[in-house]
């Protein structure tokens, strides 16, 4: 063998891949010894710097973030991160039986896998509980605890210092209450992170962080518009819609990613050709298998991915400009310098004295700037305003310095005849050499405005928006009315003019509605004051099927001012539930004592019944009665195809199978379902033995998303918190499933008795409505009621159609749109409370200290688990390994809980899908029809968790043992890791990661004991002279010559380099080299790495990119990155990587090789620094 020459100063493995490493036969567990290397500890690693941070509620909410982050990371070296409020453990699971914390582990991995290839390594889980589907941000805030969420998110932001925040809008229009609240947290946390009075304890102590100003927020920004181009710089020619007041930026997803198509892919793409980021991102988007997303096997076309800039304190590029067209335009002023010339780090912003303004009434705007570096010469500010608006004031701004902010305040007067809507206002600065642009929005409302008085979630949202931001717009005017009922419609009149006003409020009513008056006056309303004008509105037909909207237009006038608003009234059905003289027999057959049949066949969500009346829908009926203190319900459901039969332990997620849900609201119009009773009833189960207590394959029922969620039937009913949650409820069914997968007779029947004592408050109902105000009770008391069948025509736990008595959307979450029931003659027991009991919501959240992937991230990326405070109470004194166990010797100054995991393989992700594509280790590619199957998971996270333990640690010294065994010990030898988390009694946390390495030291024989000599006088101690520091070279990287180590042949030679020495190490291995259009596999010396010896101090490397953390592009166009003082480098060291093309040869079963190539980061060199103490 000929020794390789030292060659070029920087050599990267581009065009050759060592494959000999994988051919070595590992030693058996019996003859190998392992130890742990130097640990990585959260508080000893500088926190990762994040450029663009997303914030969402559930692991699949962030899927649209994958592709742009891939582009930004690949092209602009941008680091994305994600704050995830929950792990989604309250969701469904379409590919396994995991639920609660176990599902949280699986969904966290799905999320990490989805972002893995885009370079997004940092996902900060906040550990809020994913409790149940709702549409109430207020309920979400109450359950999660606003201060707790704010504190942890602010801590993550202060540690990672993101410049851009993206995520959901805070608007109610986003639907899910968790999503709404996540949008709110973006704005709350951004403001609080910059405020030294919020969570000041984070700013002091050994782990102190600084306040942090987020520069740009997209939450709530709108992107509607036309134009653009399907090519790089895709926002060129894009024009926002006339009603869109936001600056819109875009990123092209058609760039080639570093990932390539595998041989044999079902899409038919040439092997080795590059995937676009659109394709790579879409494959990640669909990786949430538990949420019924199928593996993506198609080809995804590139798109222009757009964001609206909702708020910015830095300059950016305006719509239609050349800079705005660029694919990195979102990053201007925050991550990248703005093309206008203000130095990076500068601020430039525009604010108004109020968001709401009135036509003809002056208001103030302020432009504020600060230089990021040096002094910017003074210039003029120009406001862009709608035609006819006036501006006055001194427009001179500056000089703009680093030391202090400069500002100008101008007065804007809208035209008196301006339309009432939202308007953009922009400010451009120019001094002849530097320009800067920014914008904001105001909304013009009538000088005297009348609005329907908001209630519940609507009122709470408007209050929040007034405090933080109106970017999501105002809440809608919505209210319910039962068929035949009379209700109060209050209108709040506000005077925004500078003088007292008098005028009139009038109602325009639809057919079938009457009011006590169609107009009413208000008088002498002072400037800045408000008043309320009440109307009584009546629906005239108590027998109407309802289920429709009836809109009322509210018009408010004053001299020179007119405002109007449309109140959407949901007309819901009403019914009278009769008393049964004798309690019905609950057997699935309706007794004569039931009331009239009600239609429950109208669709409110999902696919149409096809055909209606056979597949589902028409002919489905409900009948009800009450007796004593019990409510009786019998529902006959038209259905043809049988769904999956859930085992009793899966008697939840009733919406995924054929079922009937009974929804009861004793409060009548509750804000959310936490004060209601909801029972999901499955007419049959997979329970041949009848172990669940309801007969072979009998029914089961559970409460869902209500005041006391959990199993209600069988032995499982005793397992929930504060069990039972529905004592005395019984169910009878009439259902026959035929061998061809249909229902005999084309239907099934469910009957249930529900004790009214199980409801969260007493049921109090008033007089049944008549349709005439004179005879009605205004704003009557009623029992909110709905019954909704769920139809699924498959056996794979996927729902299809949902129908109901009151067929409005979001039936499972919005009680105010349920029907109204009046219990004729019923009186609740006098001692039953009329206020609802506090909801019992299971805390099924997985904690970050329980997640191996979260522990790994915290220990190696330097950000505390879940954004909690760091604990310094526990010290791990030593770690030892043998086949039986890993032993941790610890000393702690505080009691707490230690969790330890033995892990095998990549911690970044566990493959979600199986694949037959040769060389695809991540599982995203498809080469066979069978490749769409979810990969095995189980209790060991797809085989990655080899062992785990939880131990309570007391103050003092102790040992914690992690049991291993022969197989686990052997697996640790290959990519093995020990992970440890600790949470002390005060909730503070710490994380450690120990790499497992082979122990190649020679065991020393145990010496023969010698006789103890006679004691001699102890001589006076001599001072120990200090030894000068000396570097000791070692094989194979820093000791010149040939080395046989670990069964491999190495060669190292060193030479002088600047003020140090540089060693080049090569290894004898099988390599793959490209020769023209073919590949050659041969044995040869292959470059391994360069090592710069520690004869220079860190400061001497300061100007060299190999000696500082960062990224750059070399003159030959190749991309490089360097990381220093990480677990991979150890202390006082830096590793550099180059992005290179790597070839791979995979042996075929019949001989020969399959060749592939891909671009990846390849380790190139190691810089060792002289210790500071030397």
Residue 640's domain is classified under what CATH number? 2.60.40.1190
Give the model's pLDDT for residue 320: 97
Q: Which of 772, 791, 823 is the last residue in one of the domains?
A: 823
Q: Are residues 939 and 1056 in the same domain?
A: no
User: Does residue 1016 lie in a domain region?
Assistant: no
User: Does residue 87 lie in a domain region?
Assistant: yes
Question: pLDDT tier at 857 (50, 70, 90 boundaries)?
Answer: very high
- Report how many domains make up the chain: 6
Mean pLDDT of 681-687: 97
Q: Are residues 563 and 582 in the same domain?
A: no
Mean pLDDT of 204-230: 97
Give the model's pLDDT for residue 1148: 63
Q: Are residues 990 and 1109 in the same domain?
A: no
User: Does residue 839 lie in a domain region?
Assistant: no
Tens of pLDDT, residues 152-163: 999 999 999 999
Q: Are residues 565 and 580 in the same domain?
A: no
Q: Give the 3-state secondary structure of residue 867.
A: helix
Give the model's pLDDT for residue 24: 31
**pLDDT over 70 (residue 10):** no
* Alpha carbons 281 and 301: distance in angstroms, whole number: 11
Decide which of 653 and 1129 is more confident.
653
Q: Are residues 386 and 427 in the same domain?
A: yes
**pLDDT over 50 (residue 246):** yes
| Partner residues linked to 451 by β-bridges | 492
* Alpha carbons 423 and 320: distance in angstroms, whole number: 18
Q: Any alpha helices (H) in 722-877, and if so which ranges? A: 852-861
User: Does residue 1006 lie in a domain region?
Assistant: no
**pLDDT over 70 (residue 397):** yes
Mean pLDDT of 410-418: 97
Which burial class, exposed, middle or buried, applies to 381 when counting CB atoms under 10 A from its CB (0-12, 13-18, 19+)?
buried
DSSP string, 172-222: GGG-SHHHHHHHHHHHHHHHHHT-TTSSGGGGSSTT--------EE-TT--
Lowest mean pLDDT among 18-32, 322-336, 931-945: 18-32
For residues 405 and 368, the answer to whether their CB atoms sit within 8 Å is yes
Give the model's pLDDT for residue 653: 87
For residues 215 and 164, the answer to whether their CB atoms sit within 8 Å is yes
Q: List, in order, residues 6 or more apart from 272 with CB less than 8 Å away.
A: 260, 261, 263, 1156, 1157
Q: Are residues 784 and 686 in the same domain?
A: yes
Q: Are residues 1104 and 1134 in the same domain?
A: yes
**pLDDT over 70 (residue 243):** yes
Tens of pLDDT, residues 1076-1091: 556 777 777 888 999 9
Tell me, what DSSP letter sits at residue 535? E
Give the model's pLDDT for residue 908: 97
* Alpha carbons 908 and 977: distance in angstroms, whole number: 13
| Closest alpha carbon to 540 in 504, 502, 514 | 514
Residue 286's domain is classified under what CATH number? 3.40.50.10320
Mean pLDDT of 999-1025: 52
User: Does residue 530 lie in a domain region?
Assistant: yes
Mean pLDDT of 624-637: 98
Residue 529's domain is classified under what CATH number? 2.60.40.10
Mean pLDDT of 320-345: 98
Give the model's pLDDT for residue 1056: 86
Give the model's pLDDT for residue 880: 96
User: Does residue 1095 lie in a domain region?
Assistant: yes
- Provide the pairing of β-strand 52-56 with 80-84: parallel
Q: Are residues 318 and 169 in the same domain?
A: no
Question: pLDDT tier at 1003 (50, 70, 90 boundaries)?
Answer: low
User: Does residue 1124 lie in a domain region?
Assistant: yes
Tens of pLDDT, residues 425-441: 999 999 999 999 999 99
**pLDDT over 50 (residue 1102):** yes
Lowest mean pLDDT among 65-74, 191-200, 751-760, 838-847: 838-847
Give the model's pLDDT for residue 464: 97
Give the model's pLDDT for residue 6: 39
Give the model's pLDDT for residue 1020: 43
Host H or E run for residue 444: strand 435-444
Tens of pLDDT, residues 788-828: 999 999 998 889 999 999 999 989 899 999 999 999 999 99
Tell me, what DSSP letter sits at residue 738? -
Question: pLDDT tier at 1047 (50, 70, 90 boundaries)?
Answer: low
**Residue 602 CA: distances (Å) to CA of 492, 618, 855:** 36, 7, 49
Give the model's pLDDT for residue 136: 96
Lowest mean pLDDT among 19-23, 206-210, 701-705: 19-23
| Closest alpha carbon to 989 in 849, 1119, 1159, 831 | 849
Q: Which of 572, 601, 623 is the last residue in one of the domains?
A: 572
Give the model's pLDDT for residue 333: 98
Decide which of 16 and 271 is more confident.
271
Decide which of 1047 and 203 is more confident.
203
| Closest alpha carbon to 426 in 248, 245, 250, 249 | 245
Tell me, what DSSP letter sits at residue 20? G
Give the model's pLDDT for residue 1157: 78
**pLDDT over 60 (residue 1006):** no
Lowest mean pLDDT among 593-597, 927-931, 1040-1044: 1040-1044
Omega prior to 286 cis, within 30 of 0 = no
| Closest alpha carbon to 575 in 397, 876, 806, 910 | 806
Mean pLDDT of 98-124: 97
Lowest mean pLDDT among 30-34, 110-114, 1049-1053: 30-34
- Provide the pairing of β-strand 356-357 with 435-444: parallel
Mean pLDDT of 651-657: 91
Q: Are residues 802 and 909 in the same domain?
A: no
- Whole-number mean pLDDT of the chain? 92
User: Does residue 1024 lie in a domain region?
Assistant: no
| Closest alpha carbon to 154 in 204, 196, 94 | 196
Q: Are residues 585 and 692 in the same domain?
A: yes
**pLDDT over 50 (residue 15):** no
Give me the phi and psi of 925, to 5 degrees please: -90, 160
Share of the chain above pLDDT 70, in %: 94
Give the model's pLDDT for residue 1077: 58
* Residues spanned by the domain of 771: 574-823
Q: Are residues 777 and 926 in the same domain?
A: no
CB neighbours of residue 1058 within 10 Å: 12
Q: Give the 3-state secondary structure of residue 930.
A: helix
Lowest mean pLDDT among 860-869, 923-932, 1022-1031, 1150-1159: 1022-1031
Q: Which of 401, 426, 444 is the last residue in one of the domains?
A: 444
Lowest mean pLDDT among 326-335, 387-396, 661-670, 1120-1129: 1120-1129
Which burial class, exposed, middle or buried, applies to 1023 when counting CB atoms under 10 A from its CB (0-12, 13-18, 19+)?
exposed
| Closest alpha carbon to 421 in 186, 188, 241, 223 | 241
Q: Are residues 197 and 273 in the same domain?
A: yes
Long-range contacts of 226-235 (CB under 8 A, 24+ apart): 228/304, 229/304, 230/254, 230/302, 230/303, 230/304, 232/327, 233/325, 233/326, 233/327, 234/304, 234/325, 234/327, 235/304, 235/306, 235/324, 235/325, 235/326, 235/327, 235/329
Give the model's pLDDT for residue 30: 58
Give me the phi and psi of 969, to 5 degrees please: -65, -45
Q: Give the 3-state secondary structure of residue 607.
A: coil
Q: Give the 3-state secondary structure of residue 151.
A: helix
């Amino acid at each position: 063998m000929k020794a390789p020459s030292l060659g070029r100063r920087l050599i990267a493995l581009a065009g050759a891949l060592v494959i000999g490493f994988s051919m070595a036969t590992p030693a058996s567990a019996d003859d190998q010894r392992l130890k742990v290397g130097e640990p990585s500890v959260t508080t000893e690693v500088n926190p990762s710097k994040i450029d663009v941070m997303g914030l969402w509620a559930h692991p699949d909410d962030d899927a649209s973030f994958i592709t742009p982050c891939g582009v930004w990371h690949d092209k602009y070296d941008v680091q994305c991160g994600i704050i995830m409020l929950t792990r989604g453990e309250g969701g469904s699971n379409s590919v396994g039986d995991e639920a609660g914390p176990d599902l949280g582990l699986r969904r966290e991995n799905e999320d990490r896998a989805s972002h893995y290839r885009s370079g997004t390594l940092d996902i900060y889980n906040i550990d809020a509980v994913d409790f149940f589907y709702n549409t109430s941000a207020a309920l979400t805030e109450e359950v999660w605890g606003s201060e707790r969420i704010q504190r942890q998110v602010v801590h993550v932001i202060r540690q990672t210092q993101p410049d851009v925040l993206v995520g959901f809008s805070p608007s109610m229009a986003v639907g899910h209450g968790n999503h709404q609240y996540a949008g709110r947290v973006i704005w709350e946390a951004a403001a609080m992170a910059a405020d030294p009075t919020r969570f000041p304890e984070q700013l002091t102590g050994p782990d102190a962080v600084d306040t942090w100003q987020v520069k740009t927020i997209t939450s709530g920004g709108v992107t509607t518009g036309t134009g653009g181009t399907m090519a790089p710089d895709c926002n060129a020619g894009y024009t926002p819609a006339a009603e869109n007041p936001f600056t819109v930026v875009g990123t092209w997803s058609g760039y080639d990613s570093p990932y390539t198509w595998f041989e044999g892919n079902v899409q038919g793409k040439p092997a080795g050709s590059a995937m676009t980021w659109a394709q790579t991102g879409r494959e990640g988007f669909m990786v949430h298998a538990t949420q019924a997303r199928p593996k993506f096997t198609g080809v995804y076309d590139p798109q222009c991915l757009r964001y609206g800039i909702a708020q910015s304190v830095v300059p950016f590029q305006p719509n239609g400009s050349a800079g705005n067209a660029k694919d990195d335009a979102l990053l201007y002023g925050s991550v990248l310098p703005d093309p206008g010339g203000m130095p990076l780090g500068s601020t430039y912003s525009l604010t108004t004295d109020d968001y709401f303004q009135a036509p003809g009434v002056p208001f103030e705007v302020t432009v504020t700037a600060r230089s990021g570096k040096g002094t910017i010469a003074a210039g003029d500010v120009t406001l862009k305003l709608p035609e006819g608006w006036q501006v006055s004031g001194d427009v001179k701004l500056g000089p703009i310095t680093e030391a202090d902010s400069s500002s100008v305040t101008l007065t804007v007067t809208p035209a008196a005849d301006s339309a009432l809507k939202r308007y953009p206002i922009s400010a451009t600065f120019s001094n002849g050499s530097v320009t800067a642009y920014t914008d904001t929005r105001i909304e013009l409302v009538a000088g005297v405005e009348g609005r329907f008085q908001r209630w519940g979630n609507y009122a709470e949202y408007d209050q929040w928006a007034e405090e933080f931001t109106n970017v999501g717009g105002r809440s809608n005017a919505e209210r319910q009315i039962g068929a035949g009922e009379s209700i109060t419609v209050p209108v709040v009149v506000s005077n925004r003019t500078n003088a007292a006003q008098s005028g009139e409020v009038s109602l325009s009513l639809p057919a079938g509605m009457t009011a006590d008056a169609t107009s009413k006056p208000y008088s002498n309303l002072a400037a800045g004051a408000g008043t309320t004008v009440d109307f009584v509105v009546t629906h005239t037909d108590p027998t109407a099927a309802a289920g429709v909207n009836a809109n009322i237009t509210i018009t408010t006038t004053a001299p020179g001012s007119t405002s109007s608003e449309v109140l959407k009234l949901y007309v819901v059905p009403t019914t009278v539930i009769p008393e049964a003289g004798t309690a019905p027999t609950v057997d699935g057959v309706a007794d004569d004592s039931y009331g009239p049949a009600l239609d429950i066949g109208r669709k409110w969500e999902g696919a149409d019944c096809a055909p209606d009346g056979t597949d589902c829908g028409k002919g489905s009926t409900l009948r009800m009665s009450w007796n004593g203190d019990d409510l009786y319900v019998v529902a006959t459901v038209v259905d043809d195809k049988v769904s999956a039969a859930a085992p009793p332990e899966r008697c939840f997620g009733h919406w995924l199978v054929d079922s009937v849900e009974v929804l009861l609201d004793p409060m009548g119009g509750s804000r959310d379902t936490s004060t209601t009773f909801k029972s999901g009833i499955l007419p049959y189960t997979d329970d041949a033995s009848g172990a669940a207590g309801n007969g072979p394959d009998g029914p089961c029922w559970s409460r869902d998303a209500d005041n006391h969620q959990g199993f209600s039937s069988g032995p499982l009913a005793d397992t929930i918190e504060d069990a039972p949650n529905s004592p005395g409820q019984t169910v009878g069914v009439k259902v026959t499933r035929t061998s061809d997968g249909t229902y005999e007779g084309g239907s099934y029947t469910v009957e249930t008795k529900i004790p009214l004592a199980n409801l969260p408050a007493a049921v109090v109902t008033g007089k049944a409505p008549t349709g005439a105000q004179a005879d009605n009770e205004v704003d009557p008391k009623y029992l909110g009621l709905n019954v909704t069948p769920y139809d699924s025509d498959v056996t794979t736990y996927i729902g299809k159609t949902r129908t109901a008595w009151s067929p409005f959307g979001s039936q499972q979450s919005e009680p105010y749109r349920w029907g109204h029931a009046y219990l004729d003659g019923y009186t609740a027991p006098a001692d039953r409370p009329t206020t609802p009991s506090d909801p019992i919501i299971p805390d099924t959240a997985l904690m970050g200290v329980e997640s191996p992937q979260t522990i790994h991230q915290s220990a190696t990326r330097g950000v505390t688990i879940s954004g909690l405070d760091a604990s310094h109470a526990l010290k791990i004194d030593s770690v030892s390994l043998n086949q039986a166990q890993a032993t941790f010797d610890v000393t702690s100054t505080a009691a707490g809980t230690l969790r330890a995991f033995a892990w095998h393989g990549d911690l970044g992700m566990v493959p979600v899908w199986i694949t037959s594509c040769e060389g695809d280790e991540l599982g995203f590619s498809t080469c066979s029809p069978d490749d769409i199957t979810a990969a095995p998971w189980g209790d060991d996270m797809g085989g990655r968790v080899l062992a785990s333990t939880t131990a309570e640690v007391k103050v003092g010294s102790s040992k914690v043992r992690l049991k291993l065994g022969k197989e686990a010990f052997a697996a640790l030898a290959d990519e093995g890791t020990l992970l440890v988390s600790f949470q002390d009694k005060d909730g503070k946390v710490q994380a450690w990661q120990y790499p497992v390495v082979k122990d190649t030291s020679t065991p020393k024989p145990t010496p023969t004991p010698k006789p103890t000599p006679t004691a001699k006088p102890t001589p006076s101690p001599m001072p120990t002279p200090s030894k000068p520091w000396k570097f000791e070279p070692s094989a194979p990287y820093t000791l010149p010559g040939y080395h046989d180590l670990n069964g491999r042949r190495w060669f190292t030679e060193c030479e002088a380099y600047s003020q140090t020495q540089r060693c080049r190490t090569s290894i004898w291995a099988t390599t793959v080299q490209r020769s023209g259009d073919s590949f050659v596999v041969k044995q040869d010396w292959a470059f391994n790495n360069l090592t710069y010896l520690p004869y220079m101090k860190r400061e001497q490397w300061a100007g060299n990119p190999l000696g500082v953390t960062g990224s750059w592009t070399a003159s030959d166009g190749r991309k490089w990155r360097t990381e220093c003082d990480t677990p991979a480098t150890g202390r006082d060291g830096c590793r550099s990587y180059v992005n290179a093309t790597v070839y791979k040869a995979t042996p075929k079963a019949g001989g020969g090789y399959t060749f592939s190539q891909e671009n990846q980061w390849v380790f190139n060199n190691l810089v060792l620094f002289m210790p500071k103490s030397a």
